[in-house]
Amino acid sequence: MPLVVKAHNPWKSRLLLAMLLLVLLLAGWALFEYGRFSAGYDSIEVTQESQVLLSHVSDLDDQIEKLREEKAVLERAAQIERKAYDELDTTLKVLQAEILELKEELAFYRGIVSPRQSAEGLHLQRFKIEANGKPRGYRYKVTLTQVLKNDRTARGTIKMTIAGRQGEEAKELGLADVTNKQVKALEYRFRYFQNLEGDIQLPEGFQPLRVTVSVQPRNSRYQEKTIEKTFDWPA
């Protein structure tokens, strides 16, 4: 049997295989595009719609940025308005306090010069007590007056008694119990009016409820009586 010798070329086989795969891919892509076209898909129209949508998105981004800027401006304006309102409210409160103080001063001087009270002699015109910023510390102010037509000098003492509770028990404290120098009474001496003021320190655990101010004149020849008034402790 005669021997037949055939030439073997592997690159040719591989090239044919590659071309076959390329043809299959092209055929598949063509079938895919045909299917989309048959279903009504138009790549050009889709591209145009995509561009329109992208343009719309860009417009929306611009609007969002504009709205953010407007929001920042409005927030800043609101902050300025709030600050102006707070400043106006503070000014109004200061003016109201000044008006109240002026009214108190007017009543104070009326109490001095009013002839209707000339027969009453000495007056406990005003008493005030308020916190002085120290722990359990307070500052008091007592104002005494007498009418201008009285040319005599008023003399005497002032005592204060603070009523409250120490735990479950009622307790009273005098000036000597709440002052550093243990002052038992305040001395006054004046012709028309006098302010006496000072600081007190309440003991730990003591809850004040009321304070009684007792003005005791020494002018016995004028037959003046002791003036005593009780005030609620300020909240």
Higher pLDDT among residues 7 and 215, named by residue: 215
Q: What is the mean pLDDT of residues 61-66?
A: 88
Alpha carbons within 13 angstroms on the beta-carbon side of residue 11 total: 0
pLDDT for 52 equals 82
DSSP helix/strand/coil, 186: strand
- Predicted pLDDT at 169: 94
pLDDT, residue 198, reads 94
> What local confidence, expressed as pLDDT, does residue 120 receive?
61
Q: Give the range among 75-84, 154-163, 166-175 with minimum mean pLDDT.
A: 75-84
Instruction: Give the pLDDT score at 109.
Output: 74
Distance CA(151)–CA(165), nearest Å, equals 43
More confident residue, 126 or 109: 126
pTM above 0.75, yes or no: no
- Side by side, the strands of the sheet bearing 193-201 are 123-131, 137-145, 193-201
Q: What's the pLDDT at 15? A: 75
Min mean pLDDT across 30-34, 62-66, 161-165 is at 30-34
Nearest-CA neighbor of 127 among 168, 79, 160? Answer: 160
- Which whole number is the average pLDDT over 59-81? 89
What one-character-per-residue DSSP string does 42-79 give?
Answer: -HHHHHHHHHHHHHHHHHHHHHHHHHHHHHHHHHHHHH
- Count of alpha carbons within 13 angstroms of residue 117, beta-carbon side: 17
Q: Is the pLDDT of residue 115 over 60?
A: no
Judge whether residue 123 has pLDDT over 60. yes
**How far apart are alpha carbons 232 and 200 in whole angstroms?**
16
The answer to whether residue 184 scores a pLDDT higher than 80 is yes
For a pLDDT cut of 70, what percent of the chain falls above it? 80
pLDDT higher than threshold 60 for residue 94:
yes
Virtual torsion, Cα 114, 115, 120, 125, nearest 10 deg: 10
